[in-house]
Amino acid sequence: MITYQGIRIFDGIAIGKIKYLKFSGEIEKSFGKGKTFESDRFKKAQSSAILDMKKVYENAKKELSSKDADIINAHIAMLEDLDFLDLVQEGLDNNYSAEYATFCAGKNLSDMLSQMDDEYMKARASDVMEISMKVIDILQNNNTDVELTEPCILVADDIPSSVLLKMDRKYVRGIVLLKTSTNSHISILVRTMEIPSIASVSKTFNPADDGAVAILDGNKGKLLVRYETNTLLKYFEKQKKYEDTKKDLQKYLNKKAKTIDGKTIEIGANISSANEVESAKKNGAEGIGLFRSEFIYLSSNNFPTEDEQFAQYKTVVEAMGEKETVIRTLDIGADKKIGYFNLPEENNPALGYRSIRICQDRTDIFLTQLQALYRASAFGNLSIMIPMIISEKEIDFAHNMCEMAMKNLDLRGIKYNKNMRVGIMIETPSAAILSDRFAKKVDFFSIGTNDLSQYTLAIDRQNQMLNKFFDPRAKSILRFIKLTVENAHEEGIHVAICGELARDPKLTGFFIKLGVDELSVSSPYILQLKSNISKVDTDKINIDDYIN
């Protein structure tokens, strides 16, 4: 069996024939057959591209939101733009072929956009290349219309959005974007269409697999080819089960999570980028319980500026409206290393130089982030939380930095929410033990069970050899959780659980009985969790059974 491992864009299981698509990439320098001849060729290709895109636009308006369809309208405007046409003309004046002149014009403008100090404009660079390639495909008579006649799994390095929009999507069972990031425009589109899909595949695709029947496991980010019959049978079953459960779970979408005996609990979503908000909302999240801000740093080649961060935070906060968004400040180090931070190699990274510890040395980085967060607080219901806290001194440090961020914004005359809630993660034994004191100083707690359990049990979660020694429901961990919840409620503050443990069906009853206020899990697990809660009867739960 061959496994292509990638990263999930949208979950679900698809089984179908692989259809491998290739679109043109770099165009080599070439000269044409005279200026007038090449200029005519360009004009014809340009008008035929525009005509074609107008058709796509009309269809897209029927199926998508007007905002999504307007992207195509902007593409048409780019193709008609005088700057674009001038640059093509420049190439033609150099006796280039129409193809190469078009390619240079597209490259020139896309370079201009990608150098702008603006995330949104940077992302438009790929749109310019897409429209240029469209003209080139017409010039070269490349057939980009993908005609589908049977159910299939599309595999391509990247797919131009207009091509996907034009396809007969009833046949598209799954999509594999080999060389595209999960944040690209096309990935976002695929997610909106809710097609099982994966991106960023590490292994090179073998063209011999084109036409083979394959299994796409979106949940695990895998594409399987040349598998054994029982694997297929297993997946048929999995797929059926997945579809049935999914349908059944929809009934919990707009319902509050409630136990048999009428106890309720809030359900939040954990996300890693602004693009995941829509999926959180679609799955019935009542808020964002954890936005891991470090992914903004991970996807950047240098320290993200205040404006860049602000734009991302604001998008999330605005999309959630009145519902609360909790953004966790920078949590890097340990298993999340970033080149430009120049962090030293460590013998014991899990117990090492990470998150709030780095922020205490590099106050400039922390302050930039806090200013971006305070600015975003003016646009909705935002709270922030600080990770890896072990002492009151660190809480005081964080508060002082918040004060400083607010003062700086005052000086710049920028509005923000002065009362933005500041909470902390309880993810070290030290924090759990001192939670009575910490609760007097912060607005809320969120228990990060992944780190809390590795530190409590002294088991490195990155070391697979230790898996057999690891018990996520160890009594010591559950006692720490109980202690933290009790101390939080003693001071009347909100307490959430945002680690993997939050969706463990064997602990759902325990958490609710303890009085945990919120469970926050990845979007695809929300409805399942709500369903699990509806089967809990807290009268039948005995806390002692879990901790003694």
* Closest separation in Å from C-beta 300 to another protein: 18
For position 116 contacting another protein by CB under 8 A, the verdict is yes
Q: Rounded to the nearest 10 degrees, what angle do helices 66-80 and 82-93 cross at?
A: 40
HEC letters along 424-457: EEECCHHHHHCHHHHCCCCCEEEECHHHHHHHHH
For position 117 contacting another protein by CB under 8 A, the verdict is yes
* Closest separation in Å from C-beta 365 to another protein: 23
Q: Where does this chain touch another protein (CB under 8 A) — which range of 116-124, 275-283, 455-463, 540-548?
A: 116-124
498: annotated active-site residue: yes
For position 120 contacting another protein by CB under 8 A, the verdict is yes
CA 524 to chain centre: 12
Single out the residue of 121, 233, 260, 458 in contact with another protein (rule: CB under 8 A): 121
Looking at 26-170, which runs of residues are DSSP E strands? Answer: 152-156
Single out the residue of 20, 42, 57, 84 in contact with another protein (rule: CB under 8 A): 84
For position 127 contacting another protein by CB under 8 A, the verdict is yes
Query: Which one, 296 or 498, has the nearer CB to another protein?
Result: 296
Residues composing the chain: 548
Tokens of 452: 């809390």
Q: Where does this chain touch another protein (CB under 8 A) — which range of 8-16, 32-40, 120-128, 140-148?
A: 120-128
3-class DSSP assignment, residue 58: helix
Q: How far is CA 27 from CA 102, 135, 493, in A?
A: 9, 12, 61
Distance CA 546, CA 526 (A): 24
* Closest separation in Å from C-beta 313 to another protein: 13
* Closest separation in Å from C-beta 117 to another protein: 7
Query: Which one, 105 or 457, has the nearer CB to another protein?
Result: 105
Q: How far is CA 424 from CA 292, 320, 334, 480, in A?
A: 13, 21, 19, 15
Of these residues, 185, 359, 399, 494, which one is catalytic?
185
Q: Where does this chain touch another protein (CB under 8 A) — which range of 49-57, 81-89, 357-365, 438-446?
A: 81-89
Q: Where does this chain touch another protein (CB under 8 A) — which range of 76-84, 152-160, 481-489, 527-535?
A: 76-84
Closest CA to 97 of 38, 16, 161: 38
For position 494 contacting another protein by CB under 8 A, the verdict is no
Across the beta sheet with 172-177, the strand order is 2-5, 222-225, 213-217, 13-20, 152-156, 172-177, 197-199, 7-10
Query: Which one, 47 or 450, has the nearer CB to another protein?
Result: 47
Distance CA 322, CA 4 (A): 41
Distance CA 352, CA 334 (A): 7
For position 78 contacting another protein by CB under 8 A, the verdict is yes
Distance CA 322, CA 21 (A): 43
For position 421 contacting another protein by CB under 8 A, the verdict is no
Helices then strands, each counted (H, E), the chain: 21, 16
For position 70 contacting another protein by CB under 8 A, the verdict is yes
Closest CA to 350 of 479, 270, 457: 457
Single out the residue of 49, 98, 113, 159 in contact with another protein (rule: CB under 8 A): 113
Build a one-symbol-per-residue string for 340-379: x at contacts with another protein by CB under 8 A, - elsewhere: ---------------------------------------x
Q: Where does this chain touch another protein (CB under 8 A) — which range of 20-28, 114-122, 334-342, 512-520?
A: 114-122
104: annotated active-site residue: no
Build a one-symbol-per-residue string for 287-326: x at contacts with another protein by CB under 8 A, - elsewhere: ---------------------------x---x--------
Closest CA to 203 of 182, 184, 218, 225: 225
Instruction: Give residue 358's region: left, alpha or beta (phi > 0; psi -120 to 50).
Output: alpha
For position 73 contacting another protein by CB under 8 A, the verdict is yes
Query: Which one, 79 or 327, has the nearer CB to another protein?
Result: 79
How many residues form the binding site for another protein (CB under 8 A)? 24
The residues annotated with a catalytic role in the active site are 185, 498
